[in-house]
């Protein structure tokens, strides 16, 4: 598809470049600088003329419309590619956060289990049980 668009643009642009006239510069007998596409017999130098814009001039309305569609499509494709890269990066960061949270939650469970095995008073044990419930919930949430 992209090749077809490029080929269409080149089919429009290249003929315009090929028929571009050569421009010559010379000074006439009165001392005035002259420009033309046909040099006089002597004293003319060829001048390189750069186009005024990158878009070809003198296109038919259909050709202009086609170039505008191609430009719009290319801008759309670039925007979509940028959004896709941003989406992938966002998903990757979210996954990395989830993995870190999972690891942290599992460590918390291990630490709390070790503390519970050591034995605590009823009050301290109840708080540890509550912390254990929260840590296990985090493991279920982040370690899927």
Mean pLDDT computed over 54-77: 81
Question: How far apart are the C-alpha atoms of 74 and 79, rounded to whole Å?
Answer: 9
**Whole-prediction pTM:** 0.46
Higher pLDDT, 86 or 38: 86
* pLDDT given at position 44: 76
> Residue 68: pLDDT above 80?
yes
pLDDT tens across 93-143, in order?
Answer: 999 999 999 999 999 999 999 888 887 788 888 898 999 999 999 999 999
Q: What is the DSSP letter of 94?
A: H
Of 47-51, 71-75, 87-91, 117-121, least confident by mean pLDDT is 47-51
Q: What is the pLDDT of residue 79?
A: 92
Predicted pLDDT at 81: 92
- DSSP secondary structure code for residue 91 in this structure: H
The whole-angstrom separation of Cα 140 and Cα 109 is 12
Distances (CA, A) of 49 to 15, 38, 80, 109, 113: 17, 15, 37, 76, 82
Compute the average pLDDT of residues 45-53.
67
Domain ranges of the chain: 1-50
- CA torsion 99-100-101-103 (nearest 10°) is 90
pLDDT exceeds 90 at position 2: no
User: 6-47 pLDDT, tens per residue?
Assistant: 666 666 655 555 455 677 777 878 877 777 777 776 777 777
pLDDT of residue 5 exceeding 90, the answer is: no
């Amino acid at each position: 598809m992209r090749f077809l668009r490029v080929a269409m643009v080149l089919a429009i642009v290249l003929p315009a470049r090929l028929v571009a006239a050569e421009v010559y510069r010379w000074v006439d007998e009165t001392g005035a600088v002259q420009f033309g596409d046909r040099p006089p017999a002597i004293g003319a130098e060829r001048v390189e003329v750069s186009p005024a814009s990158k878009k070809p001039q003198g296109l038919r309305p259909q050709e202009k419309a086609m170039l505008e569609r191609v430009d719009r499509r290319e801008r759309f494709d670039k925007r979509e590619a940028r959004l896709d890269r941003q989406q992938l990066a966002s998903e990757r960061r979210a996954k990395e956060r989830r993995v870190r949270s999972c690891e942290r939650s599992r460590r918390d469970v291990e630490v709390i289990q070790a503390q519970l095995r050591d034995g605590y008073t009823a009050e301290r044990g109840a708080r540890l049980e509550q912390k254990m419930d929260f840590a296990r919930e985090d493991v279920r949430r982040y370690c899927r």
